[in-house]
Amino acid sequence: MNSEVVIVNTPHIPADEKKRLAALRQSTLDELTGTGNRLGFIFLAQHMLNLCARQGAPATLVYFELHGCDRGNDVSPLNMLKLKRFAELMRSTFRVTDLTARMSGNQFVVLFTNTPLAHTQIALEKFQEAVTQNAPELHYSTGIAGFFPNRSTDVEDLITEASAQIAPFHHIKSA
């Protein structure tokens, strides 16, 4: 379901509120990939971690670095295609309740709520299978940070921890 259509076609929401909602939606989405952006991710992930802490539920954050794309904002058609494809595979492989985003350049993240590390590994294996079958030219590394209810709920701490330990999830073939 396209939420933009729901916002635009909802008769009981005043026109000025529809405009504000559309602007908010655009400010929290990555224009290229259609997934969340850093701003939207931080906002929603923080809320989700607070909820996990209150419910005593675990969560896991996985940080991805896509190889073969410049860390900067290289807008070559090939890099744009790789970034779009990677985001599509994330959205189609992970659960609807998992929060995905493009953080910057070639870096993506997913927050699995109510998910211990062991279950995250299963999800990452399924994601790797999807990449291998549908986009074997894509290679990436991951870093993982676990959240437990007795831990700080600052999402930036998890992002820092996961991004600092980027390690190959699979053997990276030389180009």
Weakest-pLDDT range from 27-31, 65-69, 111-115, 123-127: 27-31
Instruction: Report pLDDT for 152.
Output: 77
Amino acid at 139: H
Residue pLDDT, tens place only, 111-163? 999 998 889 999 999 999 999 999 999 999 999 999 988 877 799 999 999 99
Q: What's the rounded Cα separation, in Å, for the pair 49 and 60?
A: 10
Mean pLDDT over each residue of the chain, to the nearest integer = 83
Instruction: Report pLDDT for 17.
Output: 63
pLDDT band per the 50, 70, 90 thresholds, residue 18: low
DSSP H helical ranges for the chain: 3-8, 15-27, 38-55, 77-93, 117-134, 155-164
Amino acid at 32: L
- The tokens 């076609």 sit on which residue? 9
Written as six digits, the tokens of 91 are: 């959205």
Q: pTM for this structure?
A: 0.81
**Cβ–Cβ < 8 Å for 104, 70:** no
Give the CA dihedral 161, 163, 168, 169, nearest 10 degrees.
70
**Tally of helices (H runs) and strands (E runs) in the chain:** 6, 6
Instruction: Report pLDDT for 74.
Output: 57
Written as six digits, the tokens of 102 are: 């493009």
CATH of domain 32-168: 3.30.70.270
Amino acid at 11: P
Amino acid at 16: D
Amino acid at 147: F
Nearest to 109 by CA among 82, 137, 77, 141: 141
Residue 29 reports pLDDT greater than 70: yes
**Proportion of the chain above pLDDT 90, given as a percent:** 61
Q: Where does CATH 3.30.70.270 sit in the chain?
A: 32-168
